[in-house]
Amino acid sequence: MRYFLRFVLIILIICPRSALATWAFNMPVGVTNTSQDIYGLHMTIFYICVAIAIVVFGVMFWSIFHHRKSKGAQAAQFHGSVLVEIIWTIIPIVILVVMAIPATKTLIDMYDTAESDIDIQITGYQWKWHYKYIGEDIDFFSSLSTPQDEIHNKTTKNPNYLLEVDNALVLPINKKIRFLFTSNDVIHAWWVPDLAVKKDAIPGFINESWTRINKTGTYRGQCAELCGMHHGFMPVVVQAVTEAEYESWLQQQKTAKLAELASVQKEWGMDELMTTGAIVYQTNCAACHQAKGQGMPPIFPALSGSAIALGDVAEHINIVVNGRQGTAMAAYGKQLSAVEIAAVITYERNSWDNKTGDIVTPADIQSVIDN
Amino acid sequence: MYEQTETADHHGPAKGLMRWVLTTNHKDIGTLYLIFSLIMFFIGGTMAFVIRAELFQPGLQLVMPEFFNQMTTMHGLIMIFGAVMPAFVGLANWQIPLMIGAPDMALPRLNNWSFWILPFAFSMLLYTLFMEGGAPNFGWTAYAPLSTTYAPPSVTFFIFAVHMMGISSIMGAINVIVTIFNMRAPGMGLMQMPMFVWTWLITAFLLIAVMPVLAAVVTMMLMDIHFGTSFFNAAGGGDPVLYQHVFWFFAHPEVYIMVLPAFGVVSQIIPAFSRKPLFGYTSMVYATAAIAIMSFVVWAHHMFTVGMPLAGELFFMYSTMLIAIPTGVKIFNWVGTMFKGSMTFETPMLFSVAFIVLFTIGGLSGIMLAIAPADFQYQDTYFVVAHFHYVLVPGSVFGIFAAVYYWLPKWCGRMYNEPMGQLHFWLSIIGVNLTFFPMHFVGLAGMPRRIPDYALQFADFNMVTSIGAFLFGATQLLFVYNVIKTIRSGEKAQQKPWEGAEGLEWTVPSPAPYHTFTRPPAGS
Amino acid sequence: MKLFIKPSTPSGLIAIVVLMFAFGFMLVPLYSVFCEITGLNGKTSGQYQGALTNEVNDNARNITVQFVANRNANLSWPFTPQQEVMELKLGERKVTSFRVVNTSNKAVVAQAVPSVSPSAAASHLHKIECFCFEQQALGPSETKDMPLVFFIDESLPKGINKLTLSYTLFDITGSDLVDM
């Protein structure tokens, strides 16, 4: 069956796709066996539908042309025909049964998550993804990295507009990857068209799916379930690399994690905090509080000139770490490291109209988190 | 507008505004529903305009993402519950008694209440736009917990509006069923009824079966939000996916509720303008009933990516593919009706023919969506948006237009302006296809739905879509103008303005007297 | 067949309406029962009520179990499994635990909700003792190691050699869900 599907697929690929690939109007063939099977099913059912349409509309338009009163046509008076009804009931049934067979095979295959080489837990957050490599001590958030200025039409949009993130999910090719999906808050859905993986991420439950990527490259997708305000702003980026590259990436991540832990205790100066803080702010805060801290009152308070950013540091830290119940302000203590939180708070207290001169260090934040 | 009859019945309509508040006359109530529906079409259309204006280009230009989500949600709710459904109820009210030879609906006072609930329900719903936190922003499908734990305060008003509107639909459906079962003219057995009556009878049964389930699920939402229950909250032992199952158990039959009456309209108009009987009447009745029954066992095809076990996915894939069969049979029967007819193409026929072609396109994309593995790439993309807009706009809405053009002469005794009707038709066809056809492409290319901004590769087709939408929206003003002008000063219409038309409604004068069939018509 | 409900009368139709409204609510327990019997949606059953044995079948299959800890919404207290991965034999009773640290200075109440993947494995996972059976009260700054005692029965389908048990921790302090 798989060979049959591949054969059909090759025929279908040769015809329309090559010339029109840049027009972005068809499903991608993708880089997994599943995505290619699905593309084949899609094109097959599409061509069947086109054939049905040609036949039905053909008869109809011919009839419109020839059986017009203005052409002198006399109306026949037949009421129906049981034979005809039977024929045009049976033929569609046969067509559908024939379609159902390869579709069933592909679906069974898509559900076979056994014998995976790598397991990744994917958690949907409002409004970013979190990836955890099970069995390795590696996990991180993946947030939209398109600058707010591009979104608000102040600068030109780059080619990967809305489809780029700060930390991509790095995966090796030719390995079976099993995904476990859940959500931190509302239902999200993780989708990468080139892999043909889409699954709902449901709070309190885990779902699973799998993939085996055949080709290195960068594959981009988006959240596919309305999840609130920034549903359109939480893309997925998968970086598929060779096994060797993957192994060295794993090593880098582990080293970076150790460095991160060490950096909490070291001395941080204003410049370093501001630089890091600007990046953290852009990625995590600017979507709501806006690039110049002006916010969008009343829903998103301004930070520039705000009582909190200018007042008690402990209260400012509390809001960032623990969030604000009943509002969209999340508990970033759960999502950002002590370094990132210290940097962004320092940044907020020393940017735009705010010039407190306050420095908040990672050690300060760590002691709040450890309580 | 109404003329006195010559029988012993001497009541004309009451005078003044209170006539409309207190009326129990099926013609008045039909008119009220149709006017209400038209207003709601423009309100829902305005929301579509906001959506398409924002999506005209990539980037955020006009509205915040939060407000955009309110627009998409309200656009869906208003079009489904405020425009399409009331329009068909309006058609039912006007036409069912006339077509079965009954003097009125079986429960006239219930009929009045059924209508007047709607302005209250929708005032409540529209008011939420001005509340703190804004209108409902979780999609018309309102999945939990976005619509429960994470919802704005207006969700409670949304729930009450849905309850009120559900009660209205249920009462209307009861009225329709009791009327059709008990008040048909002597000699009109069930298998002699016009197809419009048959499709409404079946639609009414769907309504009383599933609107209560919608009421149940929004009540569960209300309880989760305000009374500490955990139907959809995992923390208390509940499950967000339960919401989806119960919701779609209602909402799938709901989409057939929205289209079966249009099937009925087309089944009246095609034979009339082909001057030929409907091909396969019995088959059409059984096919409609089959669609209705099968509509109860396909709901989870809206949930193929939710993580259902394989057996469930396969079952729903098969049942969804099968429901295409009776739908296809109906399409073939319409073509069979046209075939070897003697056709003319006045406006009602134009809209009906366009219905057949464009609804079929929507139906074919539906077959594609039924293929569960492929659906993993289609689900929650613009491909789905394209599919349902094809079946709803050049489907249901064109059916409504066709019905209005067809029966307006009977309602008001005047002919509409035919060239203007044809212009409305051609501009609508162009508008509808420019708007919704490109959505297939961007959906396949990877554009998700319910997003206010999109990646650059989707830009060109989105611009085309927006232009089509502006054109389509503006064209409807032509329709309103035509209707109003007709009612006020159109040319007088004959009793039977359409040569090939059949049915009891054409045996009464145009305009139809305020009270018709006060005595049953002679048996056939 | 004579119907008790006459669909040609208003009262008959209202009866159908009421029945369908009730049916909507009946779907709730129906769904629960359906899920528990079939293990759909990864829903595990409640506390294991059957017989326990200390014997281990040496010929039983070895499988891998992964443990995952999630924290819902703004809950930021560290919640971690004692071990992420465990090898075991089918039928063998195993013990592990999850640690939660209440980093706030207030008393809190948490509810853990389990979920198993693949869902076909869910009905074969039997929890003898689980911190998910009860709400967990934590004092200010308290650290708690919450035990899990379980086994996977030998009728686990042949194709499944790895399964994941996930817990999501919900903060239910002060909510209507807290048992008092």
A96, A178, A233: best to mutate for the B interface, most B CBs within 10 A: A96
C156 pLDDT above the threshold of 80:
yes
Q: What is the pLDDT of residue A32?
A: 98
Taking the C-alpha atoms of residue B81 and residue B251, their distance in angstroms, rounded to an integer, is: 12
Query: Each residue of B315-366: pLDDT tens digit?
Result: 999 999 999 999 999 999 999 999 999 999 999 999 999 999 999 999 999 9
Domains A2-110 and A118-258 share a fold: no
Name the percent of chain A lying above pLDDT 90.
80
Burial class (CB in 10 A: 0-12, 13-18, 19+), B21: exposed
Nearest CA in chain C to A336: C76
B257 pLDDT above the threshold of 50:
yes
CATH: 3.40.50.10800, 1.10.730.10, 1.10.760.10, 3.10.180.10. Which one for A266-370? 1.10.760.10
Strand partners, A138: A133
Q: What is the pLDDT of residue B454?
A: 97
Which residues from C are below 8 Å from A184, CB to CB? 70-73
Question: Which CATH number covers residue B424?
Answer: 1.20.210.10
C97 touches chain A (CB under 8 A): no
For chain B, the C-alpha Rg in angstroms (whole number) is 23
Which residues from C are below 8 Å from A321, CB to CB? 76
B9 pLDDT above the threshold of 60:
no
Do the chains contact at B377 and A198, CB–CB below 8 Å?
yes
Cβ contact B355:B394 at 8 Å: yes
A4 pLDDT above the threshold of 70:
no
Taking the C-alpha atoms of residue C115 and residue C40, their distance in angstroms, rounded to an integer, is: 10
Do the chains contact at C115 and A322, CB–CB below 8 Å?
no
Asked whether residue B8 is domain-assigned, the answer is no
Cβ contact B339:A59 at 8 Å: yes
A189's torsion region: left (phi>0), alpha (psi -120 to 50) or beta?
Answer: beta
pLDDT band for position B4 (50/70/90)?
Answer: very low
Nearest CA in chain C to A324: C74
Cβ contact A311:A303 at 8 Å: no
Higher local confidence (pLDDT), B65 or A10:
B65
**How many helices (H) and strands (E) in chain B?**
17, 2
H/E run at residue C85: strand C85-89
Mean pLDDT across chain A:
91
Task: Supply the range of the domain harboring residue B174.
Answer: 26-507
A21 pLDDT above the threshold of 50:
no
For B445-490, the DSSP string reads HTPBSS-SS--GGGHHHHHHHHHHHHHHHHHHHHHHHHHHHHHHHP
Do the chains contact at B228 and C177, CB–CB below 8 Å?
yes
Tokens 């940097």 appear where? A343
Q: What is the pLDDT of residue B353?
A: 98
Structure tokens at C94: 């195993």
Nearest CA in chain B to A153: B59
Q: What is the pLDDT of residue A18?
A: 41
Taking the C-alpha atoms of residue B299 and residue A88, their distance in angstroms, rounded to an integer, is: 26
Do the chains contact at C24 and B230, CB–CB below 8 Å?
no
Taking the C-alpha atoms of residue A70 and residue B304, their distance in angstroms, rounded to an integer, is: 50
Query: Each residue of B93-102: pLDDT tens digit?
Result: 999 999 999 9
B5 pLDDT above the threshold of 50:
no
Residue A58 CB partners (closer than 8 Å, separation 6+): none
Name the packing angle between helices C10-38 and B155-182 (round to 10°).
Answer: 130
Which residues from C are below 8 Å from A338, CB to CB? none
Q: What is the pLDDT of residue A328?
A: 84
A11 pLDDT above the threshold of 60:
no
Q: What is the pLDDT of residue A8?
A: 57
Nearest to B216 among C25, C35, C168 (CB): C25
Do the chains contact at B381 and A80, CB–CB below 8 Å?
no
Query: Each residue of C105-146: pLDDT tens digit?
Result: 889 999 999 999 998 899 899 999 999 999 999 999 899 999
Tokens 């089509």 appear where? B468
Topology, domain A118-258: Immunoglobulin-like (2.60.40)
* Structural domain boundaries in chain A: 2-110, 118-258, 266-370
Name the packing angle between helices A82-110 and A33-66 (round to 10°).
Answer: 160
Taking the C-alpha atoms of residue A328 and residue A134, their distance in angstroms, rounded to an integer, is: 30
Asked whether residue B523 is domain-assigned, the answer is no
For B43-54, the DSSP string reads HHHHHHHHHHHH
- CATH class for the region spanning A2-110: mainly alpha
- CATH class for the region spanning C44-171: mainly beta
Taking the C-alpha atoms of residue B232 and residue B143, their distance in angstroms, rounded to an integer, is: 9
Determine the average pLDDT of the residues in B288-304.
97
For B313-341, the DSSP string reads HHHHHHHHHHHHHHHHHHHHHHHHHHTT-
B58 pLDDT above the threshold of 80:
yes
Number of domains in chain B: 1
Q: What is the pLDDT of residue A20?
A: 42
Q: What is the pLDDT of residue C51?
A: 80
Taking the C-alpha atoms of residue A360 and residue A339, their distance in angstroms, rounded to an integer, is: 10
| Beta-carbon pairs below 8 A across chains A and C | 83
Contacts of the segment B363-369: beta carbons below 8 A, 24+ positions apart = B363/B324, B363/B327, B363/B328, B363/B331, B363/B391, B364/A49, B364/A52, B364/A53, B365/A49, B365/B390, B365/B440, B366/B324, B366/B391, B367/A45, B367/A49, B367/A96, B367/B321, B367/B324, B368/A42, B368/A45, B368/A46, B368/A49, B369/B301, B369/B320
Q: What is the pLDDT of residue C103?
A: 85
pLDDT band for position A296 (50/70/90)?
Answer: confident
> Minimal CA–CA distance to B225: which of B126, B163, B158?
B158
A76 touches chain B (CB under 8 A): yes
Cβ contact C141:C103 at 8 Å: yes
Query: Each residue of A199-254: pLDDT tens digit?
Result: 999 999 999 999 999 999 999 999 999 999 999 999 999 999 999 999 999 999 99
Taking the C-alpha atoms of residue B183 and residue B190, their distance in angstroms, rounded to an integer, is: 11
Strand partners, A172: A241
Of A92-96, A260-264, B215-219, B519-523, which gets the smallest average pLDDT? A260-264
Query: Each residue of A179-212: pLDDT tens digit?
Result: 999 999 999 999 999 999 999 999 999 999 999 9
Asked whether residue B7 is domain-assigned, the answer is no
Residue B50 CB partners (closer than 8 Å, separation 6+): B62, B63, B68, B71
Query: Each residue of C22-80: pLDDT tens digit?
Result: 999 999 988 888 777 666 666 677 788 888 777 778 888 999 999 999 999 988 889 99
> Minimal CA–CA distance to B454: which of B463, A279, A188?
B463
C28 touches chain B (CB under 8 A): yes
Cα distance from A189 to chain C (closest Cα, Å)?
A: 16
Question: Angle at CA B344, nearest 5°, toward B343 and B347?
Answer: 130
Look at residue B299 and give its three-state secondary structure: helix
Do the chains contact at C13 and B178, CB–CB below 8 Å?
yes
Do the chains contact at A204 and C72, CB–CB below 8 Å?
yes
DSSP annotation of C106: S
Q: What is the pLDDT of residue B198?
A: 98
Query: Each residue of B158-170: pLDDT tens digit?
Result: 999 999 999 999 9
Structure tokens at B485: 């002008």
Burial class (CB in 10 A: 0-12, 13-18, 19+), A223: buried
B7 pLDDT above the threshold of 90:
no
Nearest to C117 among A112, A206, A371 (CB): A206
Q: What is the pLDDT of residue C2?
A: 55
Determine the average pLDDT of the residues in B220-243.
95
Q: What is the pLDDT of residue A224?
A: 98
